[in-house]
Amino acid sequence: MTSLRIGPRPFLFLCRFTLATVMFNVATGAAVRLSDSGLGCPDWPTCAEHHLTPPLKVHAVIEFGNRVVVFVLVLACLATVAASFLRRPARPDLRWLSGGLILGVIGEAVLGAFVVSSGLNAYVVMVHFMVGIALLAVAVLLALRAGHGPGRGTVEVTRGALWMTRALLALLVIALTAGAATTGSGPHAGGRGAKRIPLALGDMARIHAEIVLVTGVLMLVLLWVLWHSNAPAHVQDAGRILLAAMVVQGVIGYAQYFTHLPALLVGIHVVGATMVWSIALWFHHTQLSHGHQAAEAAEAAGADGSRSQDLADLPRDSAPSVVRESA
């Protein structure tokens, strides 16, 4: 950072740190629910009555630990937004996506307060989780787009493959929603006395599994379409990685169900859901080529951004003399 200006590489690092913080927030949120620590801190924003820090009890410490992660996430998002305006060369698309981080964090904070005040209502908890998934999507897209030059890029696959990929993303959102509802109807509602979704766990798990199976079939068809249409090798490789992640996630899902939902396996399954969602967004992104030249141009502009801006601010008749002096 020089003269309050940030180049593309430091900004990309900050975006990746924010992405890691978002994923860690989802993981710690799952730990709160699975350890029945949802009401470990019964007040908001303090932990208990007028005490900000928690008492030395397991549930309170776990719940408060998640709040600390949220605090770090807020700081990371604010820093990313500020950096998006200091970045050179300027990128309006990165500024808009950074703003989306702030909206997501505000939504998470407001819903977090409602989760506590509602006594861990399963529907509120489910919405809270899905807002976290939306926040994760924004963080992934920001980190991906910060890694190359501006512009939407050139589509490298057939139109049919691109639309199938978008349909796959939509199905994954439905599967994530059904998975959150399944957890809400099961034993891990976050704490004693928490209101659960009034549906049989077996029925909800069956619905979730059927959606996942349909998504898996679509993924296989999509891979065949990519292979048959001679799609670039890196796109097909990304698709295979996504399929492998989906298979592993499915195996964990069936294992947790048939072992009567041990908390550790359920937690791994939640983290796996965030991984599958992130890989799916990356897979979609690989289908758009931004070219190496665009990325190199952005890096070069960032390295010399302050000099270029200084020249641009000078009157037109004085700029050539400055160039001659620097030469």
Classify residue 197 by burial, with Cβ atoms within 10 Å: 0-12, 13-18, 19+: buried
Q: Give 4-66 as a DSSP string.
A: TBB-HHHHHHHHHHHHHHHHHHHHHHHHHHHTT-TTSS-SSSSSBTTBSSPPS-HHHHHHHHH
For residue 274, what are its two tokens? 């965030």
pLDDT tens by residue, 51-107: 776 767 777 788 888 888 888 999 999 999 999 999 988 899 999 999 999 999 888
- In angstroms, what is the C-alpha Rg of the chain? 23
pLDDT tens by residue, 250-281: 999 999 888 888 888 888 999 999 999 999 99
For residue 32, what are its two tokens? 């709160």
pLDDT tens by residue, 218-244: 999 999 999 999 999 999 999 999 999
> Buried b / exposed e across 127-144, counting CB within 10 Å, b at 16+?
bbbbbbbebbbbbbbbbb
Q: Give 164-202 as a DSSP string.
A: HHHHHHHHHHHHHHHHHHHHHHSS-SSSTTPPPPSS-HH
* 155 three-class SS: strand
pLDDT tens by residue, 119-130: 778 888 888 889
Residue found under tokens 């967004």: 281
